[in-house]
Amino acid sequence: MSLQHAEKEVNQEVEDLKIVNKETLTQKSFKSNTLDFLIEKMFFVFGSIAIFVLLLILFFLIREGSGAIREVGIMEFLTGTRWYPSSPQGAGYGALPFILGSLMVTTGALVIAIPWGIFTAIFIAEIAPRRVREILKPAVEVLAIFPSVVLGFIALVILSPIVANVFGLSNGLTALTASVILSVMALPTIISISEDSIKSVPKDYREAAYALGATRWETIKTITVPAAKSGIVAGVMLGFGRAVGETMTVLMAAGNAINMPITEFLGVTLPNFLTSVRTLTANIAIEGSDVPWGSLHYSSLFVIALILFVITFIVNLIADLLISRQRRKLTNE
């Protein structure tokens, strides 16, 4: 009898433990679900705030620039070559010299930065020993936060005299000078994103190539880099966005002359990188502090800012789409 009684007590204790464990698991599950819900809503709120701020900036630019758009016309800003907004007679509001200046300087920077950045990313991700990688990664990150005014000063006092001497110019503050120094600023973005894309390629791809007898370089050239192509292109696009929005460096290095940066060679119109240019950002920085508030000149600067906003928004949107495509491709989704 005592044995049966003891057995009943043990069974009762087991049942009690099951109930306690079940209640504990239920409480933990409730807390976990509540925490997940709160975190999800927090991210939603912060994301909504970011989108709201972006739309608010766009609304502000359109509102402040609408006067110039109505009076001058958007096509005059996009295609006009004369910029004399404060002239009492024959005022001109053509922003084409600034658009071409921005595109030239940025394109020139990418021509230098793309091969440099991609080969550096390949070296860090695939070739470099661990100790070398531990040195290069922080160096790239430090370069990303390097003050732009310091790079502009380097271009002003060191790079521009070299350009002037090499090409026989009286002034070395040219589109070429700005392109070279901007390439340094675009490098961290291109290197970081390209390296992440290369490292995200599954090891199975490499192992399959090695199993077929491919060398490391053949694997990198024919397997790894093509598989990471979308991410690398996205890094280049973000580097473009980084360069086209730069102000202080080009303000100090490009010379800021308002002219059409083109030349004729054998009857063909070509960009002239050996002339002084002014970019969209530099023009806003130069004229923004002296313009009368509410004037047509004031409104026209907001149109230039709107043009710059649209360019950078499109570039970053394309880059995000390419990164998403890269992620879906590598996860087979």
Q: Which pLDDT score, from 0 to 100, does residue 318 have? A: 84
- 271 in helix, strand or coil? strand
Closest alpha carbon to 150 in 289, 253, 256: 253
Residue 174 reports pLDDT greater than 90: yes
Give the pLDDT confidence of 73-92 residue by residue, as tens digits: 888 888 888 888 877 677 78
Q: Report residue 49's pLDDT band, with 50, 70 and 90 as the boundaries.
A: very high
What pLDDT, on a 0 to 100 scale, did the predictor assign at position 32? Answer: 64
What are 83-131's pLDDT values in tens digits?
888 776 777 888 899 999 999 999 999 999 999 999 999 999 988 888 9
CA distances from 329 to 145, 201, 210, 229, 321 (A): 31, 10, 22, 11, 12
The stretch 295-301 carries a mean pLDDT of 90
Q: Which helix (H) or strand (E) segment is 263 a member of?
A: strand 262-265
Output the pTM of the full model: 0.80
Average the pLDDT over 49-61 and give the result. Answer: 92
Q: Are 211 and 140 a contacting pair, CB within 8 Å?
A: no
pLDDT tens for 227-274 read: 888 888 888 988 888 888 888 999 999 989 888 888 877 777 888 899
Cα Rg of the chain (Å, integer): 29
Q: Distance between CA 201 and CA 189 in Å, rounded?
A: 19
Query: Residue 28's pLDDT is what?
Result: 55
Mean pLDDT of 42-62: 90
Question: Tens digits of per-residue pLDDT, 184-200?
Answer: 999 999 999 999 889 88
Domain segments of the chain as ranges? 1-72, 95-331
pLDDT category of residue 30 using cuts at 50, 70 and 90: low
Q: Residue type at 328?
A: R
- Per-residue pLDDT for 36 more than 80? no
Work out whether the CA dihedral 193, 221, 317, 70 comes out positive or negative. Answer: positive
Per-residue model confidence (pLDDT) at position 26: 60
pLDDT band at 158; cut points 50, 70, 90: very high
Cα 225 off chain centre by: 20
Question: 95-331: what CATH class?
Answer: mainly alpha
CA pair distance 100, 276, nearest whole angstrom: 12
Nearest C-alpha neighbor of 251 from the set 289, 274, 283, 273: 283
Inform me whether the pLDDT recorded for 180 exceeds 60.
yes
Confidence of residue 179 (pLDDT cuts 50, 70, 90): very high
**Would you list the DSSP string of 28-88?**
HHHHHHHHHHHHHHHHHHHHHHHHHHHHHHHHHHHHHHHHHHHHH-HHHHHH---EETT-S
Kindly report, residue by residue over 16-26, the tens digit of the pLDDT.
Answer: 555 555 555 56
Count CB-CB contacts under 10 A for residue 313. Answer: 13
Closest CA to 304 of 123, 149, 15, 101: 101
Inform me whether the pLDDT recorded for 328 exceeds 60. yes
Query: What's the distance, CA 176 to chain centroid?
Result: 21
Contact residues for 64 (Cβ-Cβ < 8 A; gap 6+): 298, 299, 302
Q: Could you count the other beta carbons within 10 Å of the beta carbon of residue 178?
A: 35
CB 304 within 8 A of CB 237: no
pLDDT value at 61 more than 80:
yes
Compute the mean pLDDT over every residue in the chain, rounded to the nearest whole number: 84
Let me know: does 288 contact 202? Beta carbons within 8 Å.
Answer: no
